[in-house]
Structure 1
């Protein structure tokens, strides 16, 4: 059995859980985790900004496939950074027929983030993926494994295919990923499967030997956990059990959807995980969603958990990738006890509830959101569907209405939808600039426990570190 951490740092957003945060947490001997979402976009935008610290170039210099690294630097690195009036480079959208450029970017970007998070210590580092963002998975997982990632965590879907993929890559074999196609019935057709063979990118050199990482599935029910243990394509090593108070995407409530006066989904007894059933599964599990305190850690351990996953507290830490101005304003709200997070049932193109921090100047403000034209040019949350001619195609409920409806989408599915891809990149200082001068607005996602983060501030301080969070959670309880 692997040595389990007590605290897992959540793999939040796009670039919030960056390599600096994961490194800082892993240095404390807890599990630091980088977010694997949209890392190809993040790498390109860091290089376009001139890579001021040199970290991206240092990581690419260590990439095992040097020709790939050279192509990326030649195309995307801008010495001194791009002019402020120039947009970031546009990348092709992911599809089931992946352009080689995107595959290389995904491999290299995931390698770089994990490589940098592992610098300076020998402790494990993890990477978090969203199952629903399926197209980049194979190249991204392989890139992270090239950098020696110790844990792969995946939720926001049913990650039953991932264990077998880890096994295949550790054995130097190609792997496949079957896409979830809207409408069903085509999941096992050739067009609905993405394939990746590492040998295609190694320039005829022998493939490096890789270690299979520990796989943790992120679940919201004990029934899903039990099903994964039975039906996954390989070994599931443990679970993160995430409740509806956790940030980002939440599982929808079970049963008929009911909303409170603020328009948020109501969760009830059916949405509570049976922890006795989790214990009976016989594998380690961690509890997530409002567990960032010594008391909640003690409660989790008493329930048989191996520890807790904590997100929101780390999102406010000095090392996180959240823009400093957003961090400052939200932390001031937390100190005042006025922070508000809305569980929005409509915002995400996925149709899953999505936690949105209420903050002026961001797309949480309906007036700000209304000024943004509907546009989908990052496209990670698009869904595959089958056209009338039998071909696989892609649509997003946040794209222009006429386009979505022309692709067979229902108009009612577009109501209230927001472009999370662009907003989450704006959260970390990489907002896209449009030709009309409009800058993409941010949209911050945090957990319901936003106002509790003030506990991590030392007297007279206005910021805190990831190590401060670890110390506060692990402090002995006072009898």
Structure 2
């Protein structure tokens, strides 16, 4: 009997899946790599809404922040709370550098995602996700974590780490998260759990999977965990209906995302057509029938262009539980964006010179991806052309079947000749940016190469920036909540004394 066929104790799922109430009107989007970090999610959770951390590449960000000396000691404090101290100690011994590495020194690499078991990789992923959620939940409140279904090889270990820290919601987009309900069921019971991994060129009946055995990893069997609710991020009522059709694939709700939302977006249905600016053209076939989504009987939130009270009112009128907002939070003071980059984005957005393109070519994942056109970033053609093509983080690599029957990995953003040798097509490499390195650089953790080259940042935002005129200079996450929900939406406690709190905000302009 395979892991996928083994039964799951019923009470683990039913206790969490039938929970009533506690649905937020506002979900803070899980953006980029580290843009939705624990500080931002914690600030939103303190207002009574759903704060969300990005779960993408947390193994990389934890390792690099420890190598930078962990200013403030927050990560070391979180690691001290991990239920198996020996695992945390191994992570610290490998990556922590007292006072930080020398400026310009390369960061130590982390194990890359793969299909073969790798204990060091699993330990780092579990601890990194635990730490991010633990810190976000430190003041209480409701916290979620956002994953990309496309990054299948990371999901089991990452989700387990988040669940050990008590994550309340798992949000997943960029694919069809049909395997995730069962994965969460099994992880809540500390049972071995796995997901099937899509491998290009695999024959019918040939299955590849990656998983985690919680008891083997921890060395003991803890008490059962509370299963988080799963929100599937979808862009069509057809996909929502497909997921809701059976208990095995049914999420606990949906985030229905419009094409203007930041990050990855679904391609238009049918043949891809581009406008005069080389952006995908969306039409009537791409409009979501919200009545059909509502008829599924599961709560849903609307995302992409709803960052206003009018947007929230329209969502509620359509039957939604509320809205998800990303860009407004990505530009607030608690955002994980490098502060200089964040301020430049705000300046250009306010003077009307910032352009956010839905680039059909940028992402190695093959989905259209929003790229903010800031000079001196990978959005600029000259910066992109100067960057050596390489793939050393590899979160968006695609597994493929090699001629000898083994499994290899390729990425359209790697050197073109290497990609072609691995069976890739030339047209798949055109215009590809290295999202992994670019998004990590956007939060101040870019890699420094031994030859002196420093990875440039890549910035993503949504295309709706109209909310900026309604927010104060140097606004905070609580200001965004109040802007959307009214003055009573964010309790006074969420605004007062933040500067004095551990991990709080410096004065704007400092």
TM-score relative to the length of structure 1: 0.96
Q: 2:150 aligns with which of 129, 132, 138?
A: 132
1:338 counterpart SS class: coil
Q: 2:222 aligns with which of 203, 207, 227?
A: 207
The 5 Å alignment of 1:29-428 reads 29-121=48-140, 123-185=141-203, 188-189=206-207, 192-203=208-219, 205-231=220-246, 233-428=248-443
Superimposed CA distance per residue, residues 210-261 of structure 1 (whole angstroms, 9 cap, x where no aligned partner): 1000110000001100100124635411000001000000100011111111
2-structure distance, mates of 1:102, 1:289: 34
Contact 2:202 2:401 in 1 (8 A): no
The reply on whether 1:464 has 2:475 as its aligned counterpart is yes
In structure 2, do the counterparts of structure 1 residues 408 and 38 end up closer, same or farther at CA, with 3 Å as the change threshold? same
1:301 counterpart SS class: helix
1-structure distance, mates of 2:133, 2:311: 29
Provide structure 1 residue ranges, at least 5 long, that are not aligned to the other structure.
Answer: none
1-structure distance, mates of 2:289, 2:250: 22
> Structure 1 residue 338: deviation in Å?
2.3
> Structure 1 residue 430: deviation in Å?
0.2
Superimposed CA distance per residue, residues 120-160 of structure 1 (whole angstroms, 9 cap, x where no aligned partner): 22x21000000001111001000000000000000100000
Q: 2:37 aligns with which of 18, 21, 29?
A: 18
1-structure distance, mates of 2:307, 2:113: 36
Contact 1:341 1:450 in 2 (8 A): no
Contact 1:178 1:188 in 2 (8 A): no
2-structure distance, mates of 1:47, 1:225: 40
1-structure distance, mates of 2:312, 2:373: 28
Contact 1:160 1:231 in 2 (8 A): no
> Structure 1 residue 185: deviation in Å?
3.0
TM-score relative to the length of structure 2: 0.90
1:75 counterpart SS class: helix
> Structure 1 residue 53: deviation in Å?
1.0
1:475 matched to which residue of 2?
486
Superimposed CA distance per residue, residues 350-403 of structure 1 (whole angstroms, 9 cap, x where no aligned partner): 111000000001010000111101000000001111111111211000001111
In structure 2, do the counterparts of structure 1 residues 411 and 188 end up closer, same or farther at CA, with 3 Å as the change threshold? same
In structure 2, do the counterparts of structure 1 residues 331 and 187 end up closer, same or farther at CA, with 3 Å as the change threshold? farther
2:16 matched to which residue of 1?
none
1-structure distance, mates of 2:42, 2:275: 40
2-structure distance, mates of 1:64, 1:208: 12
**Range with bigger deviation, 165-174 or 152-161:** 165-174
2-structure distance, mates of 1:161, 1:130: 13
2-structure distance, mates of 1:311, 1:120: 22
1:135 counterpart SS class: helix
The reply on whether 1:7 has 2:3 as its aligned counterpart is no
> Structure 1 residue 17: deviation in Å?
0.2
In structure 2, do the counterparts of structure 1 residues 394 and 302 end up closer, same or farther at CA, with 3 Å as the change threshold? same
Contact 1:198 1:207 in 2 (8 A): no
In structure 2, do the counterparts of structure 1 residues 475 and 155 end up closer, same or farther at CA, with 3 Å as the change threshold? same
2-structure distance, mates of 1:198, 1:476: 44
Contact 1:349 1:418 in 2 (8 A): yes
Contact 1:167 1:234 in 2 (8 A): no
Contact 1:160 1:232 in 2 (8 A): no
2-structure distance, mates of 1:262, 1:184: 37
In structure 2, do the counterparts of structure 1 residues 363 and 77 end up closer, same or farther at CA, with 3 Å as the change threshold? same
2:245 counterpart SS class: helix
Provide structure 2 residue ranges, at least 5 long, that are not aligned to the other structure.
Answer: 1-19, 489-510
Contact 1:131 1:157 in 2 (8 A): yes
2-structure distance, mates of 1:466, 1:98: 40
1-structure distance, mates of 2:442, 2:32: 9
